[in-house]
Amino acid sequence: MITARIRVSPEDFEVEEQLGFEPDGQGEHLLLWIQKRGVNTAWLGTQLAAWAGVPASSVSWSGMKDRHAVTRQWFSIHLPRRIALEHGPALDGVTVLARSWHGRKLRRGSHRGNRFVITLREVQGDRDAAEAALVAVAERGVPNAFGEQRFGRDAGNLARARSWLAADRPRRLPHEQRGLLLSTARSHLFNLVLAERVRRDDWDRGVPGDCFQLDGSGSWFGPEADITDELHRRVGSGDIHPTGPLWGAGASPATAEAATIEAEALAEEAVLCEGLARFDLRQERRALRLRPMGFSREWLGDDVLRVRFQLPRGCFATAVLAAFCDTVDASQSADYQRSGP
């Protein structure tokens, strides 16, 4: 395992949203393709609303993007009278690259995925071992963990979720905050099950009672009591992936050995499991394995490594980095030069 620093500058962490469809050129929603540097997505949404003279609720985007990065993503502004906004907002670190009309607003999670170009600096460690790990990332994939950003600074979101769900009657919260805490709790439970499967080294192969997700799809099937040669072949080819729980009401659909693994991994988390079960959430599944698309790497000297890959929405670049490198995030240091709000 090597060590390295990431986000030494925003240019070291590039993210490009893959929308998955083309704007139709019609309708009353103005879509803006924006590049931002060192700028928070939600803050930019409020600035676009002020610039367009519309309520903040008229501006939407598909996914939150890293602040300490150079990112390109789409925003939509609802303009019923199709007001011509010829110039982009005068904001540091923000450039409008393209615009188009569309018949619908962008909704959260409507994009297909994200493309990443990440530069790691001050790389130290065994380069040959790093090369072997990089090959394994491309061929085997990586554990599909939720990243630390899902849990907030110092895991503060998780602590708030525990406190909230522990109450006999959880207090009413604004919709956004409620969704954040529920998502945080589910993500933590999934990561616990994934960590146990990683410890057992069966996170990328099926065990009796597993449910499986179709690659590139949210659809899943199972449980499968017997792991047949055909299931082994499909898992090995990347056509399907074993899954872990996104907790909700009722029992996990996993059975047999897979169910035992989940129960033991979550034995100390009754507060979160029981708290989530009280809400209108289904038991859902998430793939335990993540296979980055188009993974490539290049060494820019002895201590600088650049990697490129594409991930489906909801997956984290930090999970890919963790498979071959222990990283130090320079953006969290006190002397980091922040360039925007």
The catalytic site residues sit at: 66
Alpha-carbon distance of 181 to 159, in angstroms, equals 9
User: Is the distance from CB of 68 to CB of 13 less than 8 angstroms?
Assistant: yes
Q: What backbone torsions phi and psi does residue 323 show, to the nearest 5 degrees?
A: -75, -20
Say if CB 154 and CB 186 are below 8 A apart: no
Please spell the DSSP secondary structure of 276-302, one letter per residue.
Answer: HHTSS---EEEESEE--EEEEEEESSS
Cα torsion angle, 278, 279, 282, 288, sign: negative
β-sheet with 220-224: strand ranges across: 220-224, 210-214, 240-246, 284-287
- Taking the CA atoms of residue 53, residue 55, residue 56 and residue 58 in that order, the dihedral angle to the nearest 10 degrees is -90
As a whole number of Å, the end-to-end CA separation of the chain is 34
Q: How many helices (H) and strands (E) does the chain have?
A: 8, 16
| Contact predicate 20/112, CB 8 Å | yes
Q: Determine phi and psi for 120, rounding to 5 degrees.
A: -105, 130
* Phi, psi of 126, rounded to the nearest 5 degrees: -75, 110
- CA dihedral angle for residue 197, residue 203, residue 207, residue 211, rounded to 10 degrees: 110
Distance of CA 143 to the CA centre of its chain: 13
Q: Are 62 and 72 in contact (CB under 8 A)?
A: no
